[in-house]
Structure 1
Amino acid sequence: SGSGSGGAGAASGSGSGSAGPGAGSGSGEVESSGNVLVGYGTGAPVARRRRVRPTAVAAAVPARVPVAPVVPVAAPDPVPDAVPEPVAVVSPLVRKLARQHDLDLRKLAGSGRDGLILRADVESAIRALAEGASAPLSAGAAAPEPEAVPVSVASSAGRTVEGSAAQRIPLRGVRGAVAEKLSRSRREIPDATCWVDADATELMAARAAMNSVAGPAAGPKVSVLALLARICTAALARFPELNSTVDLEAREIVRLPEVHLGFAAQTERGLVVPVVRDAQARNAESIGAEIARLTEAARAGRLTPAELTGGTFTLNNYGVFGVDGSTPIINHPEAAMLGVGRIVPKPWVYQGELAVRQVVQLSLTFDHRVCDGGTAGGFLRYIADCVEQPAVLLRTL
């Protein structure tokens, strides 16, 4: 003889509440366990009850009666004293889950032994309702009325089902082109990143001195970005490995003679990377003027395809967003990108004493196929030396 239909499963040692088809199939009386589960007491021993099997249900119920109303073609013969069919559910947690999602368990077909409704059956029905489909119905049950799909329904597995009110943004135009290029970079380029903190106090002082010159020697104001771009061209002359690209079909590294310097610019239309052509032949003033022209064209949406393609190295000044560091994605098919964080006052050991200095974090993301860490580190260290001692640049002027 079997044990109680729900008591044994609820008062078992695990207490998980997700009893399977065989839960409660042991024999003997149910003892008081001391564990409290909703719907079950822990007092005196429970009297022995026989498990209700489908054969017993069929004998007790003379005829199967649909729970939901069905519109008949012809009026059926009335069934006197019809008794609703009991629901084959052992776990109270399964019932609770069904109540939370307004599911009628009498309309579900259980996948367990003897038609037992398991937790997986209820979760499957919840997902089906969320997707706008009907839940699995037992024989003779009427299909439920369609319900409005919520914005999102979180299933017990932790996934979120998208609803009819979800917003979809097409990946096209500038954003689509950037998405494709970044995805290709991640697929093809084995990148690595190194970084260093640099004391930019002297660089900021040199820029202030340049922009304060009056009289015939005065010229346009020079930006920090223009100075960093000029430093990059000097560094690339010393480390040409980073001004290259990889030809996958030929399995060759192609070192490029000209430096076409790209710089990241954020606009209302998205992120774009205009290119300063032949940057290796320009001074800081010329590079700054071209950066200003391209930035204005980018904000107005007037950049031509030629001004957005053909770059060989990219400078990314993410410090304008108030962040210190980043590991940027290389602008495919280039081999490297220099990232520049914000320049802020920080404690710094200067000439053997603690002082407040203007500090910046520099990061270099590079294609590990074109060079090793030693070359990348030498390039970045030279950039940092020029930032800390701008006079180093006089050697290349």
Structure 2
Amino acid sequence: FMGSRVLAGARVWSAMRARHAHRDLYDDDIDAVFERALPRLESARYATEYAAALLSFVSAFDDAQVTLRGATVDSVRGVATLPFRVRWADGRAVVTDVVSTEEARALDIRVGQELTAVDGFPLPAWLQERRRAVSAPNDWSRQHLLMTLLPRGAVGASLVRLRDVTGRERQLAVPRRVETMALLPQVERPWQPASIALSGGVAYLDVNRLTEQTVQAELDRHRSARAWVLDLRGTLADSSMVAAAVLRAVRTRPVAVVARELHRYQSVPCLAESLREQTAQCPDEREVRSRVSRGDTTGQYRGRLVALVDERTAGAMERLALALEATTEITFVGSATAGSPAEAVDVPLPGGLVLGVPAAELRRTDGSQWQRVGIAPVVDARLTLRSYRTGTDEVLQRAQEWLAPQLDGRAGRRR
């Protein structure tokens, strides 16, 4: 068992040194991090301790697409959950969705309440303690990922403190249950349909809610709208055909470079002892490939396009955002995207674990860095504590406000 634990750590270390596309963007010295992780790997008595040590090691790679998966990883993060979801807004952990059960109603847990302590720890202490539980490219992505983990933990009661709209705080023993995991909605506002006809001839389409079976019908339904607001604040599976359908419906350029792929190779063996010495002493060959999108532009949607983005726009959804920018005229509204767009390949590890590693770096079409930076919107807008307490989407409202003069002042013209 000990040999497999150390082998797993060594395999992670060697895989990241050889295959990780963003190995020149680490904040930490990965070799030093591995040296610190070895004693924890060697002393791990149980599979969960081994997974916890690997999680802390993997978090140093500063990439949300570097993921460690497996049953023991789930056990470390917790197989049970509190009866609510949380998001970070205005520097606070805000309850965004609550399971509709008698138990949750009896505890009077409501959307818009602020979580100030969890598991008996004040929230700042909890965040600092769990900082190494996730791999994230930047601070805004890290906060988002930590909020998704916050309700999870071992089965049993968790001591939490909630602050309501009046500033009154209550301390509650809230149960974590395994069955609650299946009851929690995976998207905000689960009652909201995938598309809505808004005032002023504007159509709202939530790409996160569209499916391969519904996407074409929803797009066709709003063909006559003067403008589309595409909500990209979420994730898509790499294999999903939704992105291709959206791109096919709105593209106005038949051929466009949507991203640059940067591949690094070492043509000769490198004997440097550390990754930093390797970066400085061992030259690598770099190959840049263009990702080109081609498609028919006849009969495409010709109205105005706005896309809503924030830290939840990651992976395939983030790649869709950049493809839209390259193939049509679109305005981004919201806050910076996650900055973790690359596809990952799986590396099997001992103990039934799998490590996801991006093998190619994606850059913007002009060659500028995309990883850890994200896509910056033209119009800045964010969901605030008020958004959740009033049930309004301030980012969508800001998009409508921006669209109004564009549509009424210069009708029929494209930006």
TM-score band by shorter chain is under 0.3
Of structures 1 and 2, the one with the larger relative CO (CA 8 A, separation 6+) is 2
More strand by share: 2
TM-score, L = length of structure 2? 0.19
Bigger radius of gyration? 1
